């Protein structure tokens, strides 16, 4: 995992308001003084880091879902995933 922050979580593109700002990316920053110099640190917009994490997790879940559904065992009253790895009981799937 990269330690470099995603700049998109701290910026927003202007879509309305003064015409000279429309289309520009604005970044909210926290300002502090370090060794006599003013430093700006981008501040993530509320909810954006969580939304990014959810989007990444949903993509991974879709990848895993396809893999799991492609290898269902057709035994018993319903199909099930027998490649359960470390899980204690099989995961039942509905089609």
Confidence of residue 80 (pLDDT cuts 50, 70, 90): confident
Confidence of residue 36 (pLDDT cuts 50, 70, 90): very high
Phi, psi of 41 (to 5 degrees): -115, 125
Give residue-wise pLDDT tens across range 4-35. 556 567 777 888 888 888 888 888 888 999 99
Domain range annotation of the chain:
7-87
Residue 34: phi, psi to the nearest 5? -130, 120
Q: Which alpha helices (H) appear in 1-95, and where do they start and end? A: 48-69
Write down the pTM of the prediction.
0.42
CB 81 within 8 A of CB 95: no
């Amino acid at each position: 995992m990269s330690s470099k922050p995603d700049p998109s979580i701290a910026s927003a593109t202007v879509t309305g308001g003064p015409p000279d700002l429309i289309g520009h990316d604005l970044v909210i920053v926290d300002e502090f003084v370090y060794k006599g110099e003013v430093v700006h640190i981008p501040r993530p917009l509320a909810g954006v880091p969580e939304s990014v994490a959810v989007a990444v997790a949903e993509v991974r879940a879709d990848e895993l879902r396809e893999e799991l559904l492609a290898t269902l065992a057709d035994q018993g009253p319903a199909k099930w995933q027998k490649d359960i790895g470390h899980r204690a009981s099989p995961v039942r799937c509905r089609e």
